[in-house]
């Protein structure tokens, strides 16, 4: 996925060192509870899915529809929400569409790794380097993650195999301890800094598989952690667990400021992305990965870190006001990457909720936060079964990106309120 052409220009300020966080629910949050019965919540979220489905082009597996539609990575996340809807609700309403399209896209784009130009690359017989320009490691992992959610919901082993094949491909762009020590990576043309701030760069995942791109970012690494941890849980293979641990340590060492996950580090010279690049999905995907990793390893450090990051992130002023409603990605006139970020954040919170049944205060906080977004969507941003990307409203006509952003909130409210 392309970096945003415009980024959040919000003052970050220095965060205090990581400390244990209070799991209180702020009294200023707007409507942090939900009394809608389960059947109604299931119907609301399924109706939202049904509303975006006419935009689906099953020839490509993407939601093109009304121009400009949503992008490749965002389309993968629509299928994630659809699979999770069935998993949460105990239904199979979306199974046929999810399974068919995830398999079809894998055939069109082997290991899910091409950015929509396989046919162009083949027809023009592009060179290997030019062909690589079409590809992003995070794109591949978004679809692999969708395949794993679908496997969880439906048990389709072909989708599990697709996820494993994608993991194997992306793993060739993870920095190993030996590569970090040697200062070089076999798939990169530049010298690799063995350490940044005195800590090994092992475990970082390159954003792009081009030979010259130097960026290692939190979302690609966070996705790799989560996919690895899910695969470890499913297969019991230690390779996946060890991979998740190595990459989780990279984020911990290099891209945490206090309890907020930052964006990217240059693997050649250790320069960093601007401190104003503060996006919900970086923290959300790390929260999700740590939640699964804690279960896989039994290592309490990952659960403690997850709780601390979550408690800070749901109250972080860079992407919400005192009412608790997320303001990131609120464009009503055009799609951009940030519109999809907040959906990833909510999905990560759900995984933390589900995997910590004994942490009552954490679950109350997550439930309350999800309900804040849920009630904002239904009260302020709904136009029938379609939703504005601006969760403060007002309602507007259907947009594919506004609908995508709402899906994870609506589906997560099914399970968070049980």
Tell me what the mean pLDDT of segment 57-65 comes to: 90
CA distance to 188, 189, 346, per residue, from 185 (Å): 5, 8, 35
Tell me what the mean pLDDT of segment 243-247 comes to: 98
**How buried is 9 (Cβ within 10 angstroms: 0-12 exposed, 13-18 middle, 19+ buried)?**
exposed
Residue 178 is predicted with a pLDDT of 98
In a domain, 91, yes or no: no
Mean pLDDT value across the chain? 91
Residue 220 is predicted with a pLDDT of 98
Q: Which of 270, 352, 376, 405 is nearest to 23 (CA)?
A: 352
d(CA 218, CA 178): 21
pLDDT by residue (tens digit) across 89-119?
A: 999 999 999 999 999 999 999 899 854 444 3
Contacts of 291 (CB under 8 A, 6+ apart): 303, 306, 348, 351, 352, 354, 355, 356
How many separate domains does the chain show?
1
pLDDT by residue (tens digit) across 144-197?
A: 999 999 999 999 999 999 999 999 999 999 999 999 999 999 999 999 999 999
Residue 65 is predicted with a pLDDT of 79
Residues recorded for the chain: 418
Contacts of 256 (CB under 8 A, 6+ apart): 18, 262, 309
In a domain, 20, yes or no: no
In a domain, 305, yes or no: no
d(CA 37, CA 39): 6
Residue 128 is predicted with a pLDDT of 42
State residue 108 phi and psi, 5-degree precision: -70, -35
Q: Which residue has the higher pLDDT, 342 or 110?
A: 342
Report the percentage of the chain scoring pLDDT > 70. Answer: 90
Residue 114 is predicted with a pLDDT of 58
Q: Which of the 8 DSSP states describes residue 320? A: B
In a domain, 374, yes or no: yes
Q: Which of 119, 204, 112, 207 is nearest to 161 (CA)?
A: 112
d(CA 172, CA 170): 5
Residue 364 is predicted with a pLDDT of 97
E strand segments, 179-301? 195-196, 199-200, 215-217, 256-257, 260-261, 264-266
In a domain, 412, yes or no: yes
Residue 160 is predicted with a pLDDT of 98
Residue 336 is predicted with a pLDDT of 87
Q: Which of 79, 77, 74, 139 is nearest to 109 (CA)?
A: 139
What is 189-217 written as a DSSP string?
A: SSPPPSEETTEE-TT-BBS--SSS--EEE
Question: Which residue is associated with the tokens 């800070």?
Answer: 312
Report the percentage of the chain scoring pLDDT > 90. Answer: 84
In a domain, 217, yes or no: no
pLDDT by residue (tens digit) across 271-286?
A: 999 989 999 999 999 9
Residue 9 has pLDDT above 90, yes or no: no
In a domain, 42, yes or no: yes
Q: Which range among 3-7, 196-200, 233-237, 355-359 shows the weakest confidence by mean pLDDT? A: 3-7
pTM of the entire predicted model: 0.92
3-state secondary structure of 315: coil
Q: Which domain holds residue 335?
A: 25-66+314-418
Q: Are 18 and 27 in contact (CB under 8 A)?
A: no
In a domain, 237, yes or no: no
What is 86-118 written as a DSSP string?
A: HHHHT--TTHHHHHHHHHHHHHHSGGG---S-H
């Amino acid at each position: 996925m392309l970096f945003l052409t415009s980024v959040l220009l919000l003052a970050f300020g220095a965060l205090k060192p990581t400390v244990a966080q209070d799991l209180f629910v702020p009294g200023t949050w707007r409507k942090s509870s939900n009394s809608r019965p389960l059947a109604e919540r299931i119907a609301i979220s399924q109706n939202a899915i049904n509303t975006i489905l006419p935009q689906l082009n099953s020839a490509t597996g993407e939601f093109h529809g009304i121009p400009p539609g949503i992008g490749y990575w965002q389309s993968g996340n629509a299928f994630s929400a659809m699979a999770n809807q069935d998993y949460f609700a105990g239904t199979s309403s979306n199974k046929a569409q999810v399974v068919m399209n995830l398999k079809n896209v894998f055939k069109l784009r082997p290991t899910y790794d091409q950015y929509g130009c396989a046919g162009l690359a083949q027809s023009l017989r592009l060179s290997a380097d030019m062909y690589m320009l079409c590809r992003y490691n995070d794109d591949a992992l978004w679809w692999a993650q969708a395949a794993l959610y679908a496997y969880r919901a439906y048990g389709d082993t072909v989708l599990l195999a697709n996820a494993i094949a994608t993991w194997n491909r992306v793993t060739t762009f993870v920095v190993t301890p030996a590569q970090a020590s040697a200062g070089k990576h076999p798939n990169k043309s530049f010298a690799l800094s063995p350490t940044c701030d005195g800590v090994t760069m092992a475990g970082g995942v390159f954003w792009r598989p081009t030979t010259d791109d130097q960026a290692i970012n939190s979302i690609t690494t966070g996705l790799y952690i989560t996919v690895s941890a899910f695969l470890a849980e499913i297969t019991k293979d230690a390779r996946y667990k060890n991979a998740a641990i190595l990459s989780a340590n990279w984020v911990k060492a290099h891209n945490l400021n206090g309890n907020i996950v930052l964006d990217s580090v240059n693997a050649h010279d250790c320069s960093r992305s601007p401190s104003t690049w503060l996006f919900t999905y970086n923290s959300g995907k790390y929260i999700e990965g740590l939640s699964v990793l804690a279960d896989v390893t039994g290592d309490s450090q990952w659960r403690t870190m997850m709780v601390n990051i979550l408690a800070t992130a749901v109250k972080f002023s860079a992407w919400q006001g005192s009412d608790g409603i997320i303001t990131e990605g609120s464009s009503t006139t055009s799609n951009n990457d940030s519109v999809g970020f907040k959906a990833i954040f909510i999905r990560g919170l759900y995984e933390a909720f589900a995997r910590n049944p004994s942490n009552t205060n954490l679950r109350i906080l997550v439930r309350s936060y999800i309900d804040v977004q849920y009630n904002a969507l239904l009260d302020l941003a709904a136009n029938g079964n379609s939703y504005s990307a601006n969760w403060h409203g007002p309602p507007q006509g259907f947009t594919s990106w506004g609908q995508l952003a709402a899906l994870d909130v609506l589906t997560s409210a099914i399970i968070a309120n049980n």
